[in-house]
């Protein structure tokens, strides 16, 4: 799949025909907030289907306010930090973070810096073990946008490498055409494989079933 293709039609078609899309076969949510963080070159618009589904099964699905995920990581994290603090304050509970691709990296770093506000992190197709292990096209797009700065920044790299401060799960696909799936695997983070493409992880019925199960875990 091309990096800039926002739709994974096979996964979306399968999702619309699957009972999980109507909330069947997954635990009912308890109203806690779930913040969605989009991937590189993407935005909240790519997570609308997942956002709507979270509301239908009983969670407060929340969008990040990111129109296009192309800014340097620290600037992105600044906005996400304020968003998480606001949601935690309004709800009186910790916020679960679901991040796709680069969004999962941002979620991991944010959870290291604000563990008291974050319930858990679920990363979809995120290279948590080695963020540099990307497809050539992804590398070129990232280098053109950021040069040699960004995630190479010492603080971000350090926080990515730390053992998770909150429960963290990596969901990945071996057919990933954007990141090397092996970069989604590390010994201190449980990893779950699914069928599908990188972009399709946000509309994948298997992923939705896993999210339903993971989000229903007891509060920590």
Q: How far is Cα 165 from Cα 112, in angstroms, rounded to an integer?
A: 5
What CATH number should be reported for the domain holding residue 174?
3.40.50.1820
Residue-level pLDDT at 214: 98
In angstroms, the CA 170 to CA 164 distance is 12
Question: How many domains does the chain contain in total?
Answer: 1
Instruction: For residue 153, give both structure tokens.
Output: 């920044």
What is the pLDDT, as a whole number, of residue 157? Answer: 87
Q: Is residue 186 part of a domain?
A: yes
The C-alpha R_g of the chain, in whole angstroms, comes to 16
Q: Is residue 2 part of a domain?
A: no
Residue 4 forms part of a structural domain: no
Phi-psi region of 194 (alpha: psi -120 to 50; beta: other; left: phi over 0): beta
- Tell me if 220 is assigned to some domain: no
Is 3 domain-assigned?
A: no
- The strands making up 95-100's β-sheet, listed across from edge to edge, are 60-63, 33-37, 95-100, 118-124, 168-173, 191-194
In the chain, where does DSSP find H-type helix? 9-16, 48-56, 73-91, 102-113, 136-146, 154-161, 205-215
Cα 61 to the chain's mean position, in Å? 13
pLDDT digits 0-9 by tens, 35-77:
999 988 889 999 999 999 999 999 999 999 988 776 788 888 9
| pTM reported for the whole predicted model | 0.90
Range of the domain at 208: 9-215
Q: Quote the pLDDT of residue 133.
A: 55
190 burial (CB, 10 Å; 0-12 / 13-18 / 19+) is: middle
Q: What is the pLDDT of residues 93-146, one digit of tens each?
A: 999 999 999 999 999 999 999 999 999 999 999 999 987 755 444 445 455 544
How sure is the predictor about 92, in pLDDT bands with cuts at 50, 70 and 90?
Answer: very high
Angle between helices 102-113 and 154-161 (to 10 degrees): 90
Q: What is the CB neighbour count within 10 angstroms for residue 32?
A: 19
- Nearest one of 197, 172, 101 to 141, comparing CA atoms: 101
Residue 55: count of CB within 10 angstroms of its CB = 13
Residues 6+ apart with CB under 8 A from 13: none
Q: How far apart are CA 77 and CA 158, in angstroms?
A: 14
- Does the residue 192 lie in any domain? yes
CA-based nearest residue to 137, from 105, 178, 198 = 178
pLDDT tens digits, one per residue of 160-185:
999 999 999 999 999 998 899 999 99
Report helix, strand or coil for 195: coil
Residue 142 in any domain: the answer is: yes
């Amino acid at each position: 799949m091309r990096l800039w293709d926002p739709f994974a039609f096979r996964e979306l078609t399968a999702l619309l025909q699957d009972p999980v899309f109507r909330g069947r076969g997954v635990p009912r949510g308890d109203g806690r907030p779930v913040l969605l963080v989009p991937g590189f070159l993407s935005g909240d618009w790519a997570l609308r289907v997942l956002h709507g589904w979270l509301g239908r099964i009983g969670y407060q699905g929340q969008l990040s306010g990111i129109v296009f995920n192309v800014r340097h990581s620290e600037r992105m994290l600044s906005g996400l930090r304020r968003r998480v603090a606001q949601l935690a304050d309004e709800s009186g509970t910790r916020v679960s973070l679901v991040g796709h691709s680069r969004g999962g990296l941002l979620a991991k770093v944010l959870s290291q810096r604000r563990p008291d506000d974050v319930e858990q992190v679920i990363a979809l197709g995120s290279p948590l073990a080695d963020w540099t292990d990307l497809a050539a096209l992804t590398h070129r797009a990232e280098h053109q946008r950021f040069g040699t700065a960004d995630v190479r920044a010492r603080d971000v790299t350090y926080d990515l490498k730390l053992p998770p401060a909150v429960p963290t799960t990596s969901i990945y696909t071996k057919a990933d055409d954007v990141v090397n799936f092996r970069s989604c695997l590390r010994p201190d983070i449980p990893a779950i494989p699914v069928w599908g493409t990188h972009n399709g992880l946000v509309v994948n019925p298997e992923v939705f079933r896993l999210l339903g199960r993971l989000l229903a875990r007891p509060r920590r």
